[in-house]
Amino acid sequence: MSNNIQFACKTHDVKPGEPAIVQVNNLPIGIFQIDEDYYAMLNVCPHLGAPVCEGPVSGTTEGCCSGKREFNYVKENELVRCAWHGWEFDIKTGEFLVDPSIKARTYPTSIEGDSVMVHL
C-alpha cells in the first residue's frame, strides 16, 4: 500500500448503489460501498474520459444451468456503467466487462474510525 493516504469522505456519505464523488488531491474519485467494504475509482472512463463514476450502479446477468435458457442477475451494486457509452466496469477491480485488459483506475481504501481513506 501507498504511504500517501488521504481522507476521502465519511462512511455515512456512501450508500450501496450511490457512490460519493469526491476530490482527493485534486483527483475526482468515486467512493463505493459494496456490502461492508469501500472501494475507490478514478472518476475518468478509460474509453473517452467521461465521468464514469456518475453512471448507474448495477449488476449484470450470466447464463445459468448448462443447456437451459435461463439467466441469473449477479454482482448487484458491483458494476458502474459509464453514462456516455455504456462501458461497464467492475467497481472492485476496475476491469471492463467486455475486455478485462482495459481497466478503470482504482485505489485501495481503508477505514479510520468513520472516515474512508484512499491510498494514492
- For the domain that residue 24 is a member of, what is the CATH number? 2.102.10.10
Cβ–Cβ < 8 Å for 20, 14:
yes
Count other C-beta atoms under 10 Å from residue 117's C-beta. 19
Q: What is the pLDDT of residues 14-69, one digit of tens each?
A: 999 999 999 999 999 999 999 999 999 999 999 999 999 999 999 887 777 666 77
- Cell for 56? 448507474
Question: Could you list the residue range(s) of the whole structural domain that residue 32 is in?
Answer: 5-119
Residue 1 has pLDDT above 60, yes or no: no
Q: What is the pTM of this model?
A: 0.90
Count of structural domains, the chain = 1
Q: Which class for 9: exposed (0-12), middle (13-18), buried (19 or more C-beta within 10 A)?
A: buried
How many angstroms separate the CA atoms of 12 and 17, rounded? 13
